[in-house]
Structure 1
Amino acid sequence: MSKWLEESIEPGFRASYKLDKILASTTSEFQHVDLVDIEPFGRSLVIDGLLQSCRCDEFVYHECLVHPAMLMHPNPKTVYIGGGGEGSTAREVLRHKSVEKCVMVDIDKDVVQFCKDHLDENAEAFADKRLDLVISCAKAYLEQNDTKFDVIIMDLDDPLEGGPCYQLYSTEFYTFLKSKLNPGGIIVTQSGQSGIKQHTLVFTPIHNTLKSVFPNTVPYNQAIYSFLDEWGWNVALPEGAKPPAKFSPEEVDKLIEERISGELKFMDGCSWQGIWALSKVHRKSLAAETVVMSVNNKNHRFMCNPGIATIAEENAKRQKTA
């Protein structure tokens, strides 16, 4: 019988993926992780039954998260990554020739080790001497260290109600992050689903919250096929910085050629133009958003808390029949 991974995308909408093979699994203190082959997307990382990334298109997400902020900084030497345990964010950061040190802080040592063991595409990044991999809370590390950074990249879990990360999408945390930047520093954060239907859940509130601390905050998005939606990011730039949409395709291509090792799969000067070109619907929602999320009030917005898929059940069945 065929086995299927089922995921609840939103109330009334479920997606099912044919599960070809479970390659490896582990359970940490915080979550369960599987490496699987699924028919539509190939090799995929699944955490707590939810698709985390798929080899067929994870580069779209990670290139969009990393390279705009890195390229808009004139000379990024020190970079902080909050989260990013699978190593793909660090992989893209370390392609920048200017980087001297990249600190990646993830709380789950078992998942990080699992990804080091099984994600061949990130093996070089994990072995790079410029990477300082720390197992800790992303906020606690920054509180306990005086280091400041040129670029801060927050690749955290989505702000799920009851989840561990929602306080890291607050005005208090963004104010704290401001103190951890070198002059001219840039912050970028993943900002959840940003399609026509779901973009007001967290994408617009995160933008408004970050903008309350960094007035020059610019939202952007891109369709991620395996996520079954568009995905959003927000980048906080120094005041007076050149708007990203004002970079010509030729300028971006030149920056990529001069500053990045190897050829990017998704991002180039033409793709750059597209990620900043938000629809009329998005622009109206962003302009109308009033929520500023704070740990001290009830203004937090949360993504839908989806149901858990069935990989753990399939693992249990496999172990019983082994």
Structure 2
Amino acid sequence: MRTTNGVTADGKAAIAWARLLLVTCTFLTGACGLVLEYIQATVAAFILGNAIEQWAVVIGLMLFMMGIGSKAQRFVIGDKNLVQAFIGIEITLALVGAWSPLSIYAAYAYMANHFMLVQYGFIMCIGFLIGLEIPVVTRINRDYTCELKINLDYILSADYFGSLAGALFFAFVLLRYVPLTESSFIAATLNFVPAMLAFVYFYRQGRIQRIGGLLVASLLVFASLVTGYTYNRDWNIKLEQYLYDDRIVYSNTTRYQHLVVTHNPTLDEYRFYINGHIQYSTTDEARYHESLVHPAMQVAASRKKVLILGGGDGMTLREVLKYKDVQSVDLVDLDPDMVRLSATHPVLRQLNGGAFDDARVRVVDALGVETGEGYDLFQENGKQTDEKLPDVEKVARLNVINIDADKFLTHAKQPYDTIFIDLPDPSTIELNKLYTKGFYSKVRRLLTDGGAVAVQATSPFFARESYWCISRTVAAAGLNTVNYHVNVESFGDWGFVLATKSLKKGYVEKRMAEMSLDGINTSFLTAEVFRAACVFGKDLMQVKHDEINTVMHPVLTYYYLKEDWQYD
């Protein structure tokens, strides 16, 4: 047989195939390792909140344990057992990584005070196993690549390229379309497949002598992955129930958020949650939504054209449509599934008064926002036609736009008479940008001279620094502000900021004093209640900070996460 430098052609082919296998394994395990890191950080953020802090701690701890694993491998793995060790590491990592989210959720459900021991135990274990991978596969590849620099080139570049692939796969596929408990089983397969490829190849090459134990372990892990992938959604729902006091009647993870509806049969109370945070209760949501909408509608010089940022539940829209002079409403909510749920779920539809009847959810190009393609909204007026059918009348022209609120404001050109900012609390950096000076400056640009803006601004009791930071930031954008707050039993004392563009404070206060809700069907708010809501106790106005919130200096999220929410 022809040889070159003492190596036969068959030998060269075997070396090339071995290199390709090891590079492929490294690429896949690199992708899996990063995905598992991200899953652990996301689970921690979902349970504990404070995403930036959790991601920093989790990634930092996993990198530390990777260093420990890299150092430990030279003491615990001998040169004669490298292939078996690699396969064992991969199937163990697949098993641990796959089951970690479900196990952490179970620990939080059954041992809430100590679940972090389980959580950080998994994080450290996964980091340690990832740390073992690269040195071991590099040592194996040494037998097929003589030069150290070429060996490192093959292995490290494959690992880094795999990491990028894993990051993109997690961000644009798993995070958007698959529950975390299922993502972990998908990611674990990225570890299990190369382990099995290595098993088959190196066994045929005679580098694995005793396969009994390894084969049994591989079969058990495979069965575990199939079982977990098949039943994880059912188990996830059962475990999730322990996170809520009342029975879950709806649970769904959309592309953007996790939605849950619970029901208390004794009180006949429904509660709606986004990412574990309560958004409203059927027993008192009117207190919140009436307080958000009617003061601004009363103060504004005109109410013809209305913009709602957020409010995908339809409650704010319900209150706006109580005014007969409203001609058009643009509702901007990022999540189309949120609007669809509110338009079709029997309980939510009853709550919002069918505000989305015949709603057509339209996805708008972020770089070309147009709002002239809405549809006429008709509602029953309590009368009957000649055919004894319910009579309907046009209420307003409604346009539901699924786009990020900040992008909408950047590209929208039509002015609005009233603007309602009904967005989730600034608990993450992603939400923080919707509470910045730049964001409110865009709002001001779209507001008519006699227009009014109402902002939900968290709790001045539980989150005092956050509330006044929002108020300062609105004022820093060039808007005149009036502060008020009401008690909403489900989540306590809640604050709002009423702002105008050119109406002076004295005029606004005069309009507030003359405010009349005659002819407006409210269950809570009266003119007297609103005037009282503008009064704050001395303690609620005492703050330690005076910064405004900006994109590059997001102090609001820091305040919010450090507030005394434990009293809520």
| 2:440 aligned to which of 165, 174, 181 | 174
Taking structure 1 as reference, are residues 217 and 70 closer, same or farther at Cα in structure 2, changes over 3 Å only?
Answer: same
Tell me the equivalent position of 2:495. 232
| 1:105 aligned to which of 329, 332, 346 | 332
Tell me the equivalent position of 1:161. 428
Taking structure 1 as reference, are residues 74 and 239 closer, same or farther at Cα in structure 2, changes over 3 Å only?
Answer: closer
Report the Cα offset of residue 36 of structure 1: 1.6
Report the Cα offset of residue 133 of structure 1: 1.0
Taking structure 1 as reference, are residues 142 and 242 closer, same or farther at Cα in structure 2, changes over 3 Å only?
Answer: same
Tell me the equivalent position of 1:122. 352
Taking structure 1 as reference, are residues 106 and 71 closer, same or farther at Cα in structure 2, changes over 3 Å only?
Answer: same
Report the Cα offset of residue 241 of structure 1: 4.4
Q: Does structure 1 conserve the Cα–Cα contact (< 8 Å) formed by 2:305 and 2:329? A: yes
Tell me the equivalent position of 2:536. 278
**Per-residue displacement from partner, 1:4-28 (whole Å, max 9, x unpaired)?**
xxx9899xxx9x8631x32222220
Taking structure 1 as reference, are residues 248 and 83 closer, same or farther at Cα in structure 2, changes over 3 Å only?
Answer: closer
Taking structure 1 as reference, are residues 188 and 141 closer, same or farther at Cα in structure 2, changes over 3 Å only?
Answer: same
Taking structure 1 as reference, are residues 183 and 243 closer, same or farther at Cα in structure 2, changes over 3 Å only?
Answer: closer
Q: Does structure 2 conserve the Cα–Cα contact (< 8 Å) formed by 1:216 and 1:236? A: yes
Taking structure 1 as reference, are residues 224 and 103 closer, same or farther at Cα in structure 2, changes over 3 Å only?
Answer: same
Tell me the equivalent position of 2:301. 74
Report the Cα offset of residue 126 of structure 1: 1.2
Q: Describe the SS at the equivalent of 2:256.
A: coil
Q: Does structure 1 conserve the Cα–Cα contact (< 8 Å) formed by 2:327 and 2:397? A: yes
Tell me the equivalent position of 2:517. 256
| 1:50 aligned to which of 267, 272, 277 | 277
Report the Cα offset of residue 284 of structure 1: 3.8
Taking structure 1 as reference, are residues 192 and 278 closer, same or farther at Cα in structure 2, changes over 3 Å only?
Answer: same
Tell me the distance in 2 between the aligned counterparts of 1:266 and 1:31. 30
**Per-residue displacement from partner, 1:32-57 (whole Å, max 9, x unpaired)?**
21222135671111222221111100
| 1:134 aligned to which of 390, 394, 401 | 401
Tell me the equivalent position of 1:300. 556
| Structure 2: tracts of 5 or more residues without a match | 1-46, 51-112, 114-242, 358-376, 378-395, 564-568
**Higher relative contact order by CA 8 Å / sep ≥ 6: 1 or 2?**
1
Taking structure 1 as reference, are residues 93 and 289 closer, same or farther at Cα in structure 2, changes over 3 Å only?
Answer: farther
Q: Describe the SS at the equivalent of 1:86.
A: coil
| 1:194 aligned to which of 452, 460, 466 | 460
Q: Root-mean-square deviation (CA), in Å?
A: 2.8
Taking structure 1 as reference, are residues 34 and 248 closer, same or farther at Cα in structure 2, changes over 3 Å only?
Answer: closer
Q: Describe the SS at the equivalent of 1:209.
A: helix
Q: Does structure 2 conserve the Cα–Cα contact (< 8 Å) formed by 1:155 and 1:189? A: yes
**Number of aligned positions between the proteins:** 285
Higher-helix-fraction structure: 2
Percent of matched pairs sharing the same residue? 28
Q: Does structure 2 conserve the Cα–Cα contact (< 8 Å) formed by 1:85 and 1:112? A: yes
Q: Describe the SS at the equivalent of 1:124.
A: coil
Q: Does structure 1 conserve the Cα–Cα contact (< 8 Å) formed by 2:260 and 2:273? A: yes
Q: Describe the SS at the equivalent of 1:56.
A: coil
Q: Does structure 2 conserve the Cα–Cα contact (< 8 Å) formed by 1:153 and 1:189? A: yes
| 2:449 aligned to which of 183, 190, 205 | 183
Tell me the distance in 2 between the aligned counterparts of 1:81 and 1:121. 18
Matched AA of 1:121: L
- Higher mean C-alpha deviation, range 35-44 or range 213-222: 35-44
Report the Cα offset of residue 148 of structure 1: 1.0
Tell me the equivalent position of 1:87. 314
Tell me the distance in 1 between the aligned counterparts of 2:511 and 2:353. 33
Q: Does structure 1 conserve the Cα–Cα contact (< 8 Å) formed by 2:303 and 2:326? A: yes
Tell me the distance in 1 between the aligned counterparts of 2:456 and 2:449. 22
Matched AA of 2:288: Y
**Per-residue displacement from partner, 1:236-263 (whole Å, max 9, x unpaired)?**
12342446555576x32xx3115x3xx2
Tell me the equivalent position of 2:260. 34
Tell me the distance in 1 between the aligned counterparts of 2:435 and 2:512. 31
**Per-residue displacement from partner, 1:180-199 (whole Å, max 9, x unpaired)?**
1112221221101211x531
Tell me the distance in 1 between the aligned counterparts of 2:277 and 2:309. 20
Q: Describe the SS at the equivalent of 1:166.
A: helix
Taking structure 1 as reference, are residues 292 and 17 closer, same or farther at Cα in structure 2, changes over 3 Å only?
Answer: same
Q: Describe the SS at the equivalent of 1:233.
A: strand
Q: Does structure 2 conserve the Cα–Cα contact (< 8 Å) formed by 1:70 and 1:76? A: yes
Report the Cα offset of residue 295 of structure 1: 1.0
| TM-score of the aligned structures, taking structure 2 as reference length | 0.47
Tell me the distance in 1 between the aligned counterparts of 2:269 and 2:450. 40
Tell me the distance in 2 between the aligned counterparts of 1:239 and 1:74. 9
Taking structure 1 as reference, are residues 297 and 25 closer, same or farther at Cα in structure 2, changes over 3 Å only?
Answer: closer
Taking structure 1 as reference, are residues 123 and 208 closer, same or farther at Cα in structure 2, changes over 3 Å only?
Answer: same
Taking structure 1 as reference, are residues 117 and 256 closer, same or farther at Cα in structure 2, changes over 3 Å only?
Answer: same
Q: Over alpha carbons, which structure has the higher Rg?
A: 2
Tell me the equivalent position of 2:139. none
Matched AA of 1:69: A
- Higher mean C-alpha deviation, range 105-114 or range 133-142: 133-142
Q: Describe the SS at the equivalent of 1:267.
A: coil
Report the Cα offset of residue 99 of structure 1: 0.7
